[in-house]
Structure 1
Amino acid sequence: MEAAGTEPRRLSPGLLGRRLLSGGVWVLGGKVFIAASGLLSGALLARLLSPRELGAYFLVYSLVLFGSMLGSLGLQGAATRLVAQSLGLGLYGRARFVVRVALALGTLGALAAAATYLSLGGTLAGLFHTPALAASAGLVAGWIAVSVVQGLLGEIFRGLNEVRLATLLGGQVTGTVTGVLTVGLLVAGLGLLWLLRGEADLATVLALAVCAGASTTLVSGWLLGRRMARLPEGGAGRELPPVFGEVVATAWPLLVTNLVLFTLRNGDLWLLGAFASREEVAVYGAATRLISMVTMPLIVANAILPPVIAGLYAQGRREELERTVRATSAMTGLPALLASAACVLFAAPILGLVYGDYYRAGALALAVLSVGQLVSVWTGSCGLALQMTGHQRTMMAVSLATGAATLAAMFVLVVPYGIAGVVAARVAGLVLQNLLLWLAARYRTGMWTHAGFGALLRSVRGTG
């Protein structure tokens, strides 16, 4: 048990509002930087690599994200929830044990995922008709291993309410392990390549990505050690076994859910990789990368809400939690609507400006996908609410059902209709999934998560 004298930290509404505002500013600034840098890196890659090589890069990147998600074993969400819950209840020793268990399991997962890719690189190269997947197997495996550890460290910082460090160093709550520091290093490297050589091959680009991620991971590990040393003492060694079991029990449904969601988001690219040309993959990949303009507000919300949801729910403050979640959804809904409108009305010019005229062919895909993502933003952080309140199995069940149906539809439509068929199936599946998660969050937690402008006004008055 914890040492006597540790007390839960109860946040007043004003302090909670200021914490959300402060975290939101950091996350928004970081995500704006990452989005702008992502556009810049995409533009540089489109000029350094041929369309065929760029299509191969998009495939590699999606496989790296999948491998890192598989290797993380669902530990990111588990660590965020259990660390934040422990701090909210004043159980500092338990929080320390959660971090140790998560890092130990995450390291094993990273090594296993990297080894798995090394053994399957040749098979994947044949499946996607992309020899580079086998030729660069060592670099891809290294990128996967680094990404697992980097994402886990970032989510531990988020659970510790260190939103600033999670933003700077990375985390996987958004489906990517990319942080501000990693993106900055990668863009700087690509910029130097473009200025000095004007072209590059895929192996050089992958080597830059591995070096950027490894540098960030080393900095993250050092800073986490310093942060953990400042936690108050408490807890006994006998707590370790139950903490281990709780971490595992929380993580495995999240792993299944994350893999299904990731496959749903990237199955379209994989199917096109198997049944279409690398050039078509490049065009579609360029369109999907710009979707971040619509989802960025929700990404910001999902980066600051996990410790808040876990902490308030553990303390039984349900009405306050619902008001906070719905107010945050309202704040994210309006900018997402504007971004979606821009993607619909100016899809071709935006693609041409960022990637070049060759990629304007992805305009229809960008427009339709942006509408589907808008639904995700307006239903709010419903999936996150389920994860952070102990209902991860409900989210897993919904994700499995909708993910399987969506992938089946994409598989049926990819050959006769190509990109258009894949986009239609993906958007329909995305809308269905978010509506079901929205209803499931209400049923399991008693809270609505969609945008609530009345809740936003009350929160603003309370903060003021």
Structure 2
Amino acid sequence: MMGLSSSMFDKYVLLSLKRRLFSGGAWAFAGRVGTMFFGLASNALLARLLSPQDLGTYFLAFSVASFGAMAGSLGLNQAAVRLIAESLGTGQFGRTRRVVGAVIVLGVLGILIIGCLYLLLLGRFLGTDLFDAPSLVAITWLVAGWMAVLTWQEILSGVFRGFHDIRWATVFGGLMTSVLLATSLLLLWLFQEESTLATVVLLAIVSGGASALLGGWLLRLKVTSIPLEGALNQRAFKTVAGVAWPLLITNLTLFALMQVDLWILGAFRSQEEVAIYGAAARLAALVVAPLAVVNAVVPPLIAEMYAQGRRGELERMLRFTAALAAAPALLTVLGFTILGVPILTLVYGGYYREGTVVLALLSLGQMASVLTGSCALTLMMTGHQVTSMIITVAAGVLMIIVALQVVDPYGATGVAVATCGGLVFQNVVMWLMAKRKTGIWTHFSFSVLRSIRGFS
């Protein structure tokens, strides 16, 4: 490299980075498209297998199980990404193995804690006192098992992503589960045409469990190939826990920002209205899918490049990937805004067309996440997880306060407005703070996209 000019070296580095992005991005994109397709197919089948009331309860159960998984993972999924990528990037292979060991031990502990807590305390409280949904109480054991499976998937995906293994992170982070669940629901619909809530939740657990077991076996093979330099010690646990706890609070608040709207509706409105809102929210999540592809690839790169002091290259990469996500997201928002009624009718049936306004509002809120790029991940992967936590908590509290004020008079539409506003506020503040703390802009830039494309 000594004979290269600075300009040529810059182009070489960007091209190398581009190859890494597209290598992992190809898997992330294929996985996201597959997960979206099979997830959409599962939702369409569920709308036909279950009554609107049971479908509303299913959405609540999935939301509760996902939140439990986020809590049970203890922030370890993203802590693993950062610490493993940093260790590999600086050649500390012994530290890498110790980090993985600490993450797995703490992850098992998290699974046990959240499972017991839900079984003994939260299950009956949520189903009886908060949501007034006896059918949710009846599947308390199943929801606890669902939490355990989803928690292990979160941790598996984070560890694989830390190793830059986007392929297995994608497969075991949800793709395999989506394929198995959609296939089993299709067979159930073909042979029975209707089902019970307990049956479909059990199918979800079995699908996720099969994926988790295979992923755990492959992770063991990967980890045992790394040289062991020193036993797992207290310092490794402290390092992982120190990084993980602010990420846990941030993740829980981010998740609450995305799910508390459904919980508020479940507490104050009918299960049928929850079903309509949940159906629209599932579609609106497709807006942020292109950014989710990007965020499946860039976390270990952010941690590695920032640790190496390559901030200029890191900013160009982040603005480049944000531009890649912005164009398809904008088209999706336009489609949902203009064609909301036929899309909802096609996917879920005529009963759910009432969610058109909710779909448009939630799509606009999700678009704010895409336009500001990977700003939250940039803070988390560069040691500013506490800042990210504070911003997310503030945005979450603001959104909850507004939603509680509008749910009674305005129902689902009012909650959608509050959610949209909360998303915009959170992402704009996160974007500004990422620049202030790291000196890096993360929003989309088509000029960066054109310049990097020209290097090919």
Q: Normalising TM by the smaller chain, what interval?
A: over 0.9
1:324–1:459 CA contact under 8 A, matched in 2: no
Matched, 1:123 2:125: yes
Which whole-Å deviations, capped at 9, do the CAs of 1:385-440 have from their partners, x for residues lacking one? 00111100000011111111110110111111111111111111110110000000
Rounded to whole Å, the distance in 2 between the matches of 1:458 and 1:393 is 34
SS in 2 for 1:290: helix
In 2, Cα distance between equivalents of 1:246 and 1:262: 24
> Corresponding residue for 2:87?
86
Segment of structure 1 superposing worse, 378-387 or 289-298: 289-298
What amino acid maps onto 2:81 in structure 1? T
1:134 offset after TM fit, Å? Answer: 1.4
2:320 corresponding residue in structure 1: 327
Is 1:410–1:425's contact at 8 Å kept on the other side of the alignment? yes
- Residue of structure 2 in register with 1:147 after alignment: 150
Matched, 1:138 2:127: no
Q: Indicate the RMSD between aligned Cα atoms, in angstroms.
A: 1.1
Could you tell me which residue of structure 2 aligns to residue 194 of structure 1?
Answer: 189
CA distance in 2: counterparts of 1:205 and 1:300, whole angstroms: 28
Rounded Cα–Cα distance in structure 2 between residues aligned with 1:307 and 1:131: 43
Q: Distance in 1 between matches of 2:154 and 2:443?
A: 28
Aligned to 2:413: 420
Partner of residue 14, structure 1: 15
Aligned match of 1:271 in 264, 270, 281? 264
Among candidates 133, 151, 160, match of residue 163 of structure 2: 160
After superposition, the C-alpha distances for 1:179-219 in whole angstroms (9 at most, x for unaligned) are: 11111110111001000111100000011011111111110
Whether contact under 8 Å (2:115, 2:147) holds in the other structure is: yes
The alpha-carbon deviation at position 117 of structure 1 amounts to: 1.1
CA distance in 1, matches of 2:234, 2:132: 46
What amino acid is the match of 2:428? L
Cα distance between partner residues in 1 of 2:112 and 2:355: 37
Distance, in Å, in 2 between the alignment partners of 1:235 and 1:148 is 29
Residue of structure 2 equivalent to 1:68: 69
Percent of residue pairs identical: 49
User: What secondary structure sits across from 1:385 in the alignment?
Assistant: helix
Deviation at 1:242, TM superposition (A): 2.5
Superposed displacement of residue 116, structure 1: 1.0
Which residue is equivalent to 1:46?
47
> CA contact under 8 A between 1:72 and 1:106: conserved in structure 2?
yes
Does residue 240 (structure 1) correspond to residue 236 (structure 2)? The answer is: no
Q: Which amino acid aligns with 2:91?
A: G
SS in structure 1 of the partner of residue 441 of structure 2? coil
- Indicate whether 1:26 and 2:19 are aligned: no
- In structure 2, distance between residues paired with 1:320 and 1:243: 31
SS of the equivalent of 2:233 reads helix
Shift of 1:111: 1.0
Deviation per CA, 1:71-94, whole angstroms, max 9, x where unpaired?
111111101110011111111111
Q: Describe the SS at the equivalent of 1:66.
A: helix
Cα distance in structure 1, aligned partners of 2:278 and 2:395? 23
Q: Does 1:434 align with 2:427?
A: yes
Spell out, residue by residue over 1:46-102, the C-alpha distance to the aligned partner (whole angstroms, 9 max, x if none): 000000000000000000001001111111110111001111111111111111000
Structure 2 SS opposite 1:451: coil
Name 2:3's counterpart in structure 1.
Answer: none
- In structure 2, what is the equivalent of residue 377 of structure 1? 370
The Cα offsets for residues 256-284 of structure 1, whole Å up to 9 and x where unpaired, read as: 11111111111110011011001000000
| Structure 1 letter corresponding to 2:188 | L
Structure 2 counterpart of 1:180: 175
C-alpha distance in 2, partners of 1:293/1:256? 25
Match of 2:209 in 1: 214
How many angstroms apart in 1 are the aligned matches of 2:32 and 2:14?
A: 26
Residue identity in the other structure for 2:150: S
Identify the range of structure 1 (149-158 vs 453-462) with the bigger mean alpha-carbon deviation. 453-462
Separation in 2 of the partners of 1:71 and 1:283?
Answer: 29
Q: Report how far residue 234 of structure 1 moved.
A: 5.5
The answer for unaligned runs of 5 or more in structure 1 is 1-10, 171-178
What is the distance in 2 between the residues matched to 1:212 and 1:111? Answer: 20
Contact 1:150/1:217 (<8 A) preserved:
yes
Matched, 1:450 2:451: no
Displacement of 1:292 in angstroms is: 2.3
Give runs of aligned pairs for residues 332-351 of structure 1, distance below 5 A.
Answer: 332-351=325-344
Q: How does 1:389-428 map to 2 (within 5 A)?
A: 389-428=382-421
Q: CA deviation at 1:240?
A: 3.0
Shift of 1:29: 0.8
Do the aligned residues in 2 keep the contact of 1:91 with 1:234 (CA within 8 Å)? no
CA deviation digits over 1:149-180, x for unaligned, max 9?
Answer: 1210111000000000101110xxxxxxxx11
Q: What code does the residue aligned with 1:27 have?
A: A
TM-score, normalised with respect to structure 1? 0.94
Deviation at 1:16, TM superposition (A): 1.8
Q: Indicate conservation of the 8 Å contact 2:49/2:189, yes or no.
A: yes
Inter-partner Cα distance in structure 1 for 2:288 and 2:342: 20
Counterpart CA distance in 2 for 1:336 and 1:445 is 26
User: 1:373, 1:146 → 2: CA distance?
Assistant: 27
- Spell out, residue by residue over 1:333-353, the C-alpha distance to the aligned partner (whole angstroms, 9 max, x if none): 011100110010001110000
- Output the CA distance in 2 between the equivalents of 1:308 and 1:459: 17
Contact 1:35 1:292 in 2 (8 A): no
State the secondary structure of the residue aligned to 1:83.
helix
Q: In 1, Cα distance between the equivalents of 2:360 and 2:25?
A: 28
Alpha-carbon separation, structure 1, partners of 2:275 and 2:281: 10
- 2-side partners of 1:245 and 1:330: how far apart? 38
Say if 2:108 is the partner of 1:107: yes
Q: Deviations over 1:297-341 (max 9, x none)?
A: 110010000111011011110000000000000111011100110
CA distance in 1, matches of 2:123, 2:417: 30
Aligned partners of 2:285 and 2:366 also within 8 Å: no
- State the 1:244 CA deviation: 1.6
Which stretches in structure 2 are left out of the alignment for 5+ residues?
Answer: 1-11
> What TM-score does the superposition give when structure 2 sets the normalisation length?
0.95
Give distance in 2, aligned partners of 1:121 and 1:428.
30
Measure the CA separation in 2 of the matches of 1:339 and 1:243.
Answer: 44
